[in-house]
Amino acid sequence: MTSAAEKLVDPKLLARLAGLGVKVRQAMEGVLTGQHKSPHHGSSVEFAQHREYAPGDEIKHIDWKAYAKSDRFHIKQFEDETNLRTYLCVDTSGSMGYRGARGTESKGRYAAQMAAVLAWLLLRQGDAVGLLTFGERLGAYVPPRARPDHYWHLARTLVDTPVGGQTDAVGALERVAEVAARRSLVVLLTDGFDFNSPGRMAAVARQLRRRNHRVVVFQILDPDEVDFPFKDLTVFEDMEVADDRALADPRGMREAYLDEIRAYCDGLKRDLLEGDVGYRRVVTSTPLDRTIIDALGGRA
């Protein structure tokens, strides 16, 4: 546990979000000990931990021995009983390092904070959470675990992963497809600017969906990318490819720029939604808790 990991997300924000739960629409594989209904019954083998009883839990899963000792209701959880297995895929490419004047954080930091909050919420309700970072190549991979202290492992990994290189979201999703044997929730946090393989990201996401994984893509954008507020003649420098520059007069091409980015984002959204892949666009000027509340109240 490092101080940097502690500072990734404000504890007060976590406290405000404590009442939220992560629900997935379709039935998840796993024992019905949590909030997610499992198609498999009675296949538990290895005790994992006790969890405090919460309204909605089956009474038959209450550990009466533990109740006799502690006078509290606890539910026994086993390794395979985890309701939900979630893979958080966080984009750490160079473009995620951008932070405009109005953004609360850089896009990469904002994505890391979102991932941390989602992990904390999922772990808190007994779900397993894994992490995969990716830039030009695949980065750190943390296998899913359901232990509460697993949060710190994830947070440390998020903090320690540097940003840089080009975006390879396709590689990250293919990696998840390899490691996720059971039906899982795959959360992709990226700006979606993968110009090397346009359209492939949505295709792989749809493939995952066809294999009964639930996939949600959060496209994280800075306000500057959304409304392009520049005015004076400017040399724009790429954040992922060195020495890639373009001189532009923003006043003259703003309209065309807005058309371009709108077309790109709308196309991505359309491709994902057509494959029943969740999609949400997030602007970093929005407070994090607002983003999380909106996301959980909506699709995820």
Binding interface with another protein (CB under 8 A): 94-96, 98, 107, 191, 193, 195, 221-228, 230, 232-240, 244-249, 251-262, 264-265, 269, 281, 283
58 or 227: CB nearest another protein:
227
> Which distant-in-sequence residues (6+ apart) come within 8 Å of 145 by Cβ?
128, 129, 130, 153
140 or 253: CB nearest another protein:
253
Give min distance, CB of 245 to another protein, in A.
8
Give min distance, CB of 265 to another protein, in A.
6
Give min distance, CB of 294 to another protein, in A.
12
DSSP-derived pairing of the beta strands 74-78 and 85-91: unpaired
29 or 191: CB nearest another protein:
191
266 or 276: CB nearest another protein:
266
Give min distance, CB of 95 to another protein, in A.
3
Give min distance, CB of 287 to another protein, in A.
15
One-letter amino acid at 6 equals E
Give min distance, CB of 96 to another protein, in A.
8
Helices 150-160/107-124 angle, 10° precision:
170
33 or 166: CB nearest another protein:
166
Element (H, E) at 282: strand 278-283
CA-wise closest residue to 191 among 164, 218, 170, 168: 218
Residue 51 to residue 295: CA distance in whole angstroms = 26
One-letter amino acid at 168 equals D
155 or 283: CB nearest another protein:
283
DSSP-derived pairing of the beta strands 138-145 and 214-221: unpaired
Contact 28, 183 (CB under 8 A): yes
- SS3 label, residue 100: coil
